[in-house]
Amino acid sequence: MIVRIFGLSAVVTVAALVAAFLYQGWTGLALCAILGVLEVSLSFDNAVINATVLERMSLFWQRMFLTIGVIIAVFGMRLVFPLAIVWITGGLNPVEAFDLAMNPPAGGAETFPDGSPSYETILTDAHPQIAAFGGMFLLLLFLNFVLANRDLTWLSWIERPLGRLGRLDQLSVALAAILLVVVAEYLVPDDGRSTVLISGLLGLITYILVDGLSSLFQQEQPGGGEAVAEPTPAAGPTRGPTPVTVAAGKAGFFMFLYLEVLDASFSFDGVIGAFAITPDPILIALGLGFIGAMFVRSITIYLVRQGTLGEYRYLEHGAHWAIGALAVILLLSIHFHINEVVTGLVGVAFIGASLVSSVRANRRDQRRKQERAAVGATR
């Protein structure tokens, strides 16, 4: 199974490294490898969240996520998206934006001798709008999770009170909107406040629309009936997720769209952070896209096929807390510079802690089961 799931990613990785070597020699190969490792380390929480959505989708839409979704992730978010930002904010046409990206100022300067900004400078200047959109989208995802009243909690001391507060309708939207106003008021200069507010509002609207439409069509299929329950394939008799409602048709499409927007929100900080390593868009596409995005998708499929989310009960909780931390970091990065290593370590810390808690809980349950069996045998 591991070879089947990760085989294509491994082949693509080798091809990307060879392309980077042919493009810029050993330096290009090293930069491409570093970018790939950066993307995987920053996006493991993305893979966990993707898996929670993907296991509710049919095999057809899972394959779409691994094919069409990869094309969108690699070329759309890691190559076209940065160029599109430069097209829009820099007032350049696509050809001029690409030429600007491929010909940076000498010596890594932020501007050319005539005073015009570089590709990296234009993209960096657009970071507040990008961070506001992505931060609001991810924040709503986090809030809707922790404000839900759940039987299973990880950080019970805070998740249970939040779950009770979540009975107030639309509390997540209200909290996200309040935080957006606070950020715009205290972290954004006057001349950029309206842009950040609009971008953040668009992030809120995008989440509400995409999540709402996917939920609507998942509850009721085009024929008027409920979605059909279909178990996701498992690796063995004791592995794999329990039978879940599999979305098809319009529900599957909107969940696929939701996944792509979610992946885009996660990739914002990675794309911007990649410029600290290299401004070359070709190397960024090879490292973040062909290597990083491919492996993140393979990890997602592996989690679904192995039933890891069911086996490690708190893993989903840890991933959502990591998302909440990432959302806050994105919003703070509008004003403060936060190293990408910090972002990655925070996510790894939450997921690692939830994994350890899951293992301990499984062992505790196993001991109790053995104790009950021993008591029953002595009677």
Contact predicate 253/65, CB 8 Å: no
Per-residue pLDDT of the chain (379 residues; tens, 9 = 90+): 778 888 888 999 999 999 999 998 999 999 999 888 878 877 777 788 888 888 878 788 888 887 888 788 777 777 787 778 777 777 777 788 888 877 777 766 777 777 788 877 887 888 888 889 989 988 999 999 999 988 899 999 999 999 999 888 889 999 999 999 999 999 998 888 999 999 999 999 988 988 887 777 666 544 444 444 344 444 444 444 444 445 556 777 878 888 888 777 777 667 766 766 777 888 888 888 888 888 888 888 888 888 888 888 898 899 899 889 989 998 998 999 887 777 778 888 898 899 999 999 999 988 888 888 877 777 6
Q: Around Cβ 137, how many Cβ atoms within 10 Å?
A: 29
Q: Give the pLDDT score at 379.
A: 65
d(CA 91, CA 87): 6
Could you give the 3-state DSSP secondary structure of residue 247?
strand
Of 123, 73, 130, 87, nearest to 276 by C-alpha is 123
pTM, whole model, 2 decimals?
0.79
Q: Give the pLDDT score at 219.
A: 61
d(CA 133, CA 85): 13
Q: Give the pLDDT score at 171.
A: 93
d(CA 92, CA 3): 45
Contact predicate 291/320, CB 8 Å: no
Chain-centroid distance of CA 350 in Å reads: 15
d(CA 101, CA 143): 37
Q: What are 73's two structure tokens?
A: 């992730």
d(CA 317, CA 80): 33
Q: Give the pLDDT score at 246.
A: 53
